[in-house]
Chain A
Amino acid sequence: MSSTDYETAERLGRKRARLLPLFAILFLTQQASYFTGPNVDTGRPVDHIRIAAWLVMSVVLLLVLATGGGWFRSRAVRALMNDEATQVHRNDAFRFAFFAAMIACVVLYVIGLFEPLGGRDVIHLVMSCGIAAALVRFGMLERRAYRDA
């Protein structure tokens, strides 16, 4: 590995730590517009695009979380960006996400017993909670790691 690889990994790692919580905010904001907008089950092309956009964003964010990003960088840079400490942070983020998703499931289940909720709406909410929790936790842990004593 060259010095450039280390510098690139350092720079990209810091960027990732800053951006992930922002992605969480963007993602949740997109969900807010989904729930406050008109009912998406009208079958119009624009509704299909909105749903597709959410699906694509969810999958992309999950891939970023699972792989650490840097997809177009060299193997050496990716290895440095996903070293031991980052792997531990990722596992912790997924642990957080699991519990966030389960809590969301339980809360929505309780609400669903008394109020009518759409099947797709609850899935939106559960996935949003889980993905956002993972992004925020991962970002926080990575940022803490870069903070000097």
Chain B
Amino acid sequence: MTDIERAERMSRGRAAVMALAAIVLAVNVTIQYRDPAYAAAGPRGGSWIVVIGLWTFILWNGGGLRLRGRLRALLNDELSLQNRARALALGFYAAVLLALACYVLNWSRAIATGDALKIVSGGGISAALLRYAWLEWRLR
């Protein structure tokens, strides 16, 4: 298999993983909402930091850090970089809209700090991952 074919396959795989991760993240936000076990300092409470940190890191560099230079360059070519930029812009819009919604909703029903932050960060990252996955999948 040539590097081009390998990169093509990896790119499709990456899009699928990102779409799945977005759904899992959104489901997790829903499950953990108002659950005191996930609000306390501890492994469960701290796991969110790892998850958000990991996906933020992957969105920052596109993944594939263990790959050879040329293969990585093919995986993160000009179009992919452009797609990622568009995805991150959507992620920011989503995070802001969710933040505003939480802010307004907080007047009628109290939303815990942790829950608000999970909604904003989880929603923003999910939106970015889904958009990136869609753009990468659709244009291949």
Which residues of A are interface residues toward B (Cβ below 8 A)? 55, 58-59, 62, 66, 90-92, 94-95, 97-99, 101-103, 105-106, 108-110, 112-114, 116-120, 122-124, 126-127, 130-131, 134
Contact = CB atoms under 8 A, between A and B. Distances in A.
Contacts of B40: 113
Interface residues of B, number: 39
B103 A55 contact: yes
A88 to B, nearest CB: 8
A106 B100 CA distance: 18
Contacts of B92: 94-95, 97-98, 101, 130, 134
Contact of B120 (A62, A90, A95, A101): A101
Contacts of A114: 41
9 contacts: A94-B93, A101-B92, A101-B96, A101-B121, A106-B52, A106-B121, A108-B117, A113-B40, A126-B117
Contact of B91 (A98, A109, A119, A124): A98
A126 B113 contact: no
Contact of A109 (B95, B117, B128): B117
- Interface majority SS (helix, strand, loop, mixed), chain B: helix
Nearest to A134: B92
Interface of B: 40-41, 45-46, 48-49, 52-53, 56, 59-60, 85-86, 88-89, 91-93, 95-96, 99-100, 102-103, 106, 110-118, 120-121, 124-125, 128
B124 A123 contact: no
- Interface majority SS (helix, strand, loop, mixed), chain A: helix
A122 B116 contact: yes
A142 to B, nearest CB: 17
B100 A55 contact: yes
B56 A126 contact: no
Contacts of A103: 56
B128 A98 contact: yes
A91 B86 contact: yes
A91 B96 contact: no
Contact of B96 (A105, A117, A122, A130): A130
Nearest to A101: B95
Given A91-B89, A113-B46, A122 B117 contact: yes
Contacts of B49: 106, 109-110
Closest 9 CB pairs of A and B: A105-B121, A94-B89, A113-B41, A98-B92, A112-B113, A91-B85, A119-B116, A95-B88, A98-B88
A117 B113 contact: yes
Contact of A123 (B53, B118, B120): B120
